Structure 1
Amino acid sequence: MIDYKPVSTPMSPKPKLSLTSGTLFDDPSKYRMVLGSLQYLSFTRPDIAYAVNKMSQFMHRPTDMHWQDAKQILRYLARTLSHGIYLRPNAPLALHAYSDADWTGDSDDMVSTNAYLIYLGSAPVSWSSKKQRGVACSSTEAEYRAVANTTAELRWLTSLLTELGVRLPTSPVVYCDNVGATYLCANLVFHSRMKHIALDYHFIREQVQSGELRVEHVSTKD
């Protein structure tokens, strides 16, 4: 792949891949080996986390189209060899996170994928891209579940920093691009419409009301 043309994105938005896209790949072990290596790389490269998560869902039955997309990740890495995470010694000790979900993003089972990226100051310190456990009935529900997962990780990081003797000057903030999910985090009236969501997600509202967390809307374009 050294001589292949580099690309600017780790994954193409179209065509949308599924389990039946293309024909069966003649060397599935090669596909699994590449994706296994990329999973380790995603520990320090949050920019490929979603693409690696998506391509890992086809390990049991890779096709030629899946293999082409896996090679696109390698072509993207060839262009971004200098990318990394820089931890600044004088960065402000403030936690903020970006949360998102692709509602019914998987065309095979209609399950959405959660994603979050958490910053300490200006550096990312935790990130995840993971499929949800069930089908979300609305985009608001999918986004709300994503905020819940982000909040759980934020609470763990806050607890860890407290044990290390680090006090945060302000409450952590979660930025979400879904207006309904943002209102749902703080407004009890909206909860009557969302009773089909598991109760463990409702701990977000308690965090917001106690002042330990803020959830704010951010435009998708931003």
Structure 2
Amino acid sequence: MASSPNLTIDSGTPLADATEYRTVIGSLQYLSFTRPDIAFVVNRLSKFMHKPTDKHWQAAKHVLRYLAGTKSHGIFLRSDGTLTIHAFSDADWGRAHNTYISTNAYIIYFGASPISWSSKKQRSVSRSSTEAEYRAVANAASELRWICSLLSEMGIVLPVAPVLYCDNVGATYLCANPVFHTRTKHIAINYHFVREFIQAGVLRVTHVSRTDQLADALTKPLRRPQFQELTSKIGVRV
């Protein structure tokens, strides 16, 4: 997706017939189950399904051209991977200038292979970047817990607790700090949800530099070089 201009519901002229747009986006939603590199753009374009414009349609065709040029790309699931789970969690704070609702994203790896990812809007406006990032951590922690429960039912025992990487220092400190500050009461549910897992020793939240944050490609449109680099690091390859 082009990094600029920022698409909104009012961008462009409404389409006389939105059937083709909705059909394409509906198909792309299924394709994003196996292509994490298009997760963000599919989530963004899905927001305009009720009233698409010519600008939205141009962005959708841009995705189709990208897919036509990367038909051989996919995810390689290794059979010799280690029995470890780690994840990257990120949030783009208030980028949607019409609503200022942040975008959550996470990518979860089993060994070196990505097995689960998500890119979606948060339910409400976050009042700080730390709050937005912490909500993303809670969202990823919920998916991690489900995956660990599934592995447990299959008789697979993980040698170490899953690690969740977050590039926000404030959110990382909030996970590690057992003191619940009054200024964070508005995120109480997410706080206690994550803290319960950390105190039980079934999850570790670790800081990662912004340059190593693989989930960044699932929160915002990036310039071509950065997008291609992150796509390769995520695990989408020829």
The alignment's TM-score, normalised by the length of structure 2, stands at 0.86
Give distance in 1, aligned partners of 2:73 and 2:192. 37
Count residues in correspondence.
212
Give 1:205's aligned residue: 195
Displacement of 1:190: 5.6
Give distance in 1, aligned partners of 2:169 and 2:66. 33
Range 113-122 or range 188-197, more displaced = 188-197
User: 18, 27, 30: which one pairs with 2:17?
Assistant: 27
User: 59, 66, 81: which one pairs with 2:49?
Assistant: 59
Displacement of 1:188: 2.8
Give distance in 2, aligned partners of 1:23 and 1:54. 18
Give 1:125's aligned residue: 115
% identical aligned pairs:
64
Q: Is the 8 A contact 1:113 1:129 kept in 2?
A: yes
Higher helix content, 1 or 2: 2
Mapping for residues 33-182 of structure 1, pairs under 5 Å: 33-182=23-172
Give distance in 1, aligned partners of 2:70 and 2:188. 40
Give distance in 1, aligned partners of 2:210 and 2:119. 17
Q: Deviations over 1:38-65 (max 9, x none)?
A: 0010111111111100000001111111
Q: Is the 8 A contact 1:94 1:170 kept in 2?
A: yes
Q: Deviations over 1:129-156 (max 9, x none)?
A: 1111110000100000000000000001
Q: Is the 8 A contact 1:104 1:136 kept in 2?
A: yes
Give distance in 1, aligned partners of 2:37 and 2:193. 29
Tell me the SS of whatever aligns to 1:158.
Answer: helix
CA RMSD of superposed structures (Å) = 1.2
Distance 1:198 1:89, change over 3 A: same
AA matched with 2:31: L
The alignment's TM-score, normalised by the length of structure 1, stands at 0.92
Give distance in 1, aligned partners of 2:197 and 2:185. 19
User: 164, 184, 192: which one pairs with 2:174?
Assistant: 184
Displacement of 1:200: 4.3
Give 2:235's aligned residue: none
Q: Which has the higher contact order (CA 8 A, sep 6+)?
A: 2
Tell me the SS of whatever aligns to 1:147.
Answer: helix
Uncovered stretches (5+) of structure 1, i.e. residues with no partner: 1-10
Range 39-48 or range 21-30, more displaced = 21-30
Q: Is the 8 A contact 1:186 1:209 kept in 2?
A: no
